Amino acid sequence: MSRFFDLVTKPAREIGGYEPGVPTRSVAPEPHLIRLDSNENPLGPSPRAIEAMQRALAETHAYPDNDCTALAAKLSELHAAPTEQIMVTPGSTGMISLLCHTLLAPGLNAVTSEKSFIVYGMAVRATGAELIATPTKNDGFNLAAILAAVNRNTRLVFLANPNNPTGTLLDANELDRFIAEIPGHVVVVLDEAYFEFAAHFAERRKVEYSRSLRHLGQGASVVVLRTFSKAHGLAGLRIGYGLGPAELLSYCRRMQDTYSVSSVAQAAAISALDDDDHVTRSVSHNAEQASSLSTGLLELGFKVTPTWANFIYCDLRQDAAAISQRLRAEGISVRPLGAWGAQNCIRVSIGTAQQNEKFLDAMRQIPPTTSSQSG
């Protein structure tokens, strides 16, 4: 028995911690490592955001604006939503944690899908509540199964749209029906971390992607998550936000740590919102490279799920952990998905054209298997 085993809470004893793709650069720098494991923007942040960060550094002796007033006002204008319905948090994961601590407790539960964002389970179990994960359908969410799993103790449903790590998209009409049928004691969290990429794909593919803000405007018990980590390239600053019912967010604000979003992050996000050109370059580059990467993997005989995000879900039909180790020896880091119950699958972030070609060159040395197994 260890010294603190009986002192810490049951969730602290039982839940596992988040494991990043590779060690932090400053701790274990690998200058030649191609990082295709964490869905980062290979084009980096907006030059305007970098300039704003540099200016903000001179004021870091002062505490940040606790309410993120200027950023919330800018998001209010962007989304045509009152500031009372907007909450800025340290990444969209910060909003996930706040929702769990506000709505969940031992004896209650949240529902999501298998093979979805791993942080959902961590945040739910940290409150002592239960996570119910339903089987997938075509590598994505099975909304009928999720609705059937909801019970009187359910308070949250998490829907990642697009889903991480499979990159799949929910049908807008099916999602409308789901939200209309969800019981009143359940809050639906529409996690749109990859919104900009999905919206660009949807325009190219001539389909409708998201009606999330429409649901919120109609008074539905919906919280929409967005982030600056992906298309805006600010993952290292940890800044995101939620849009939801004003009353619910008022309770979440009571649970939020004081000064939890840095002044540097706030300044960068405000300027990033002004640089539409950078986002356009990011999503266009992503769509072009997604096509090249998917085609290359398919030509090599691997199974690829069409993506709506900035990563590829690939079934190798063989042990993904072993392949990932082999790639790492070649200086390329991808994410094996054994922790998601997909032992034969990897998630590959879409990098630069040069990075993607080096990845495909390495994959050409790995023969596909004819096994019918899949992760």
Distance spanning both ends of the chain, measured CA to CA = 36
- What pLDDT is stored for residue 183 in this prediction? 97
Residues 213 and 308 grouped into a single domain: no
On whether the pTM is more than 0.85, the answer is yes
Write the CA distances from 237 to 65, 133, 278, integer angstroms: 16, 30, 17
Name the residue range of residue 211's domain: 47-275
200 is a domain residue: yes
User: Which pLDDT tens digits describe the chain residue by residue (375 residues)?
Assistant: 576 666 667 776 676 665 666 555 555 556 689 999 999 999 999 999 999 999 999 999 999 999 999 999 999 999 999 999 999 999 999 999 999 999 999 999 999 999 999 999 999 999 999 999 999 999 999 999 999 999 999 999 999 999 999 999 999 999 999 999 999 999 999 999 999 999 999 999 999 999 999 999 999 999 999 999 999 999 999 999 999 999 999 999 999 999 999 999 999 999 999 999 999 999 999 999 999 999 999 999 999 999 999 999 999 999 999 999 999 999 999 999 999 999 999 999 999 999 999 999 999 998 777 544 444
Coil vs helix vs strand at 262? coil
The residue from 275, 298, 331 where one domain ends is 275
- What pLDDT is stored for residue 25 in this prediction? 54
- What pLDDT is stored for residue 30 in this prediction? 60
Amino acid in the structure at residue 176? D
For residue 209, give the CATH number of its domain. Answer: 3.40.640.10
Residues 210 and 344 grouped into a single domain: no
Residues 246 and 347 grouped into a single domain: no
205 is a domain residue: yes
266 is a domain residue: yes
Cis omega (within 30 of 0) for bond into 106: no
For residue 339, give the CATH number of its domain. Answer: 3.90.1150.10
Residues 189 and 251 grouped into a single domain: yes
285 is a domain residue: yes
DSSP 208-224: ----HHHHHHTT-SEEE
- What pLDDT is stored for residue 366 in this prediction? 87
CB 368 within 8 A of CB 362: no
Enumerate the H helices of the chain as residue ranges: 10-14, 47-57, 69-79, 91-103, 119-125, 143-149, 172-181, 195-205, 212-217, 246-255, 263-273, 276-299, 320-329, 353-363
Coil vs helix vs strand at 174? helix
Q: Regarding beta strands 109-113 and 86-89, do their DSSP bridges make them parallel or antiparallel, or are they unpaired?
A: unpaired
The residue from 254, 275, 296 where one domain ends is 275
Query: Helix 47-57 and helix 263-273: axis angle, to 10°?
Result: 150
343 is a domain residue: yes
- Chain centroid offset of residue 125 CA: 18
Least Cα distance to 331 among 313, 354, 314 occurs for 354
Residues 197 and 289 grouped into a single domain: no
Residues 78 and 112 grouped into a single domain: yes
300 is a domain residue: yes
Residues 227 and 141 grouped into a single domain: yes
Overall domain count for the chain: 2
77 is a domain residue: yes
The answer to whether the Cα torsion of 26, 43, 81, 243 is positive or negative is negative
Residues 170 and 125 grouped into a single domain: yes
Residues 257 and 299 grouped into a single domain: no
2 is a domain residue: no
Residues 24 and 102 grouped into a single domain: no
Residues 267 and 287 grouped into a single domain: no
Residues 312 and 255 grouped into a single domain: no
